């Protein structure tokens, strides 16, 4: 129907519908309902049209709830099976229920990627529950170098991590995102960690790959949000040769590093940009990747059900103005995992 009407020409199209949302997304939404009952499971184009044009939150909320009934799986072109050396070592030393979790990737040089792999003291079952040996979550991190041509592991290192003065339910640096500083070229990381009050907060530190060491981090503190008990999903964004942080996506809030002492980096708001409703529930996920004149990110969306469902989208901005250029529809990286994480992206000509 949409194709027939649009083929009538722009004049007839505009005259026929004073409420253009019927063609821009409402017919797509109705199609998603009919698709389910007629066995159609690939509705990615329709989902994209809805998210790109809809400005009604109740429609988007309903679409989030329905997403799990369709196929949004991205089939990988390459799969890299990393060594389990690090996981085996941690299992032998401490916990039996150790498994790999999220990974962050960095375009290191002409021949290699640098990847940080998180190892956790639990694993997530298919129904979304957590299995662990003790009533605490412990995280370790390993560094991998991956050959760009063969996608094979060239080296792996168990990283020496800083001691943590606050022993609680959550221990270690979680969700490590590595990035190369736009200011000095060194490699740093963003991560979450428990404070003395049991709060989850963001930290930044040096990722010393030469000595296989994660340097002690500084806490990132934004005065406007300093009382928040849980801060996660901050990502690095290079702008005009400096390092910035994207705090949230709706509205798009960009923070600059203001001042520091021996424990804390003070942050302040640098820019705030109005964003489409599509970004209302967006979080994280990856640091920016600069490709030509564009900044590429992976963001994720969570549908809170039992179990939780995670979806991902790639978004692209102009590198200086941060004008939104385009974004993909929502996708999943696994057919079997409801809870999944993506902390890195690399873009090339291929």
In this predicted model, what pLDDT tens digit does every residue of 153-212 receive, in sequence order? 877 787 878 766 566 778 889 999 999 999 999 999 999 998 888 889 999 999 999 898
Strand segments, DSSP code E, in the chain are 99-107, 112-120, 122-124, 130-132, 137-147, 153-158, 170-171, 174-180, 187-194, 200-208, 213-214, 218-222, 235-239, 242-249, 252-260, 264-273, 289-291, 294-303, 309-318, 324-327
pLDDT digits 0-9 by tens, 90-140: 444 555 667 778 899 999 999 999 999 888 888 888 777 888 877 778 888
Strands 264-273 and 252-260: antiparallel
Residue 89: is its pLDDT beyond 70? no
Res 270: pLDDT: 98
Between the two ends of the chain, the Cα-to-Cα distance in Å is 36
pLDDT digits 0-9 by tens, 247-293: 999 999 999 999 999 999 999 999 999 999 999 999 999 999 999 99
Contact 156, 148 (CB under 8 A): no
Closest CA to 193 of 212, 214, 213, 224: 214
Q: Which CATH number fits domain 85-327: 2.115.10.20, 1.10.10.60, 2.60.40.1930, 3.40.50.620?
A: 2.115.10.20
Res 83: pLDDT: 57
**Residue 348, token pair as written in the block:** 């090339």
Residue 87: is its pLDDT beyond 70? no
The kind and range of the H/E element at 182 are none
342 vs 68, 118, 205, 243, 316, CA distance in Å? Answer: 19, 12, 21, 21, 16
Res 123: pLDDT: 80
Contact 307, 127 (CB under 8 A): yes
Domain boundaries, the chain: 2-69, 85-327
Closest CA to 176 of 214, 228, 123, 230: 214
What is the pTM assigned to this prediction? 0.89
Closest CA to 214 of 173, 175, 174, 160: 160
69 vs 13: CA distance, rounded Å: 33
**Residue 317, token pair as written in the block:** 């901005």
């Amino acid at each position: 129907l949409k194709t027939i009407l649009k083929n009538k020409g722009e004049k007839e199209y505009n005259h026929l519908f004073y409420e253009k949302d019927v063609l821009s997304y409402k017919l797509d939404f109705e199609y998603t309902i009919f698709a389910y009952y007629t066995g159609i499971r690939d509705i990615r184009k329709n989902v994209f049209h809805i998210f790109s044009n809809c400005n009604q939150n109740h429609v988007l909320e309903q679409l989030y709830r329905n997403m799990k009934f369709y196929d949004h799986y991205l089939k990988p072109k390459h799969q890299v099976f990393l060594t389990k050396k690090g996981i085996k070592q941690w299992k032998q030393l401490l916990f039996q229920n150790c498994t790999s979790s999220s990974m962050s990737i960095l375009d290191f040089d002409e021949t290699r990627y640098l990847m940080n792999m998180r190892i956790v003291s639990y694993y997530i079952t298919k129904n979304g529950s957590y299995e662990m040996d003790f009533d605490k979550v412990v995280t370790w991190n390993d560094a991998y170098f991956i050959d760009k041509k063969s996608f094979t592991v060239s080296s792996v290192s168990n990283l020496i991590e800083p001691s943590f003065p606050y022993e609680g339910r959550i221990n270690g640096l979680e969700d490590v995102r590595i990035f190369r500083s736009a200011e000095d070229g060194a490699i740093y990381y963003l991560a979450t960690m428990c404070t003395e009050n049991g709060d989850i907060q963001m930290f930044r530190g040096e990722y010393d790959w030469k000595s296989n060491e994660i340097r002690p981090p500084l806490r990132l503190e934004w005065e406007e949000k300093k009382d928040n008990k849980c801060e996660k999903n901050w990502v690095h964004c290079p702008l005009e040769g400096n390092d910035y942080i994207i705090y949230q996506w709706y509205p798009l809030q960009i923070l600059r590093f203001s001042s520091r002492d021996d424990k804390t980096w003070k942050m302040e708001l640098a820019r705030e940009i109005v964003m489409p409703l599509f970004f209302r529930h967006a979080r994280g996920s990856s640091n920016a990747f600069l490709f030509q004149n564009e900044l590429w990110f992976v963001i994720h969306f969570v549908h809170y059900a039992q179990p939780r469902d995670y979806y991902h989208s790639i978004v692209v901005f102009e590198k200086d103005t941060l004008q939104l250029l385009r974004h993909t529809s929502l996708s999943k990286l696994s057919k079997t995992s409801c809870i999944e994480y993506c902390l890195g992206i690399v873009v090339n000509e291929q």
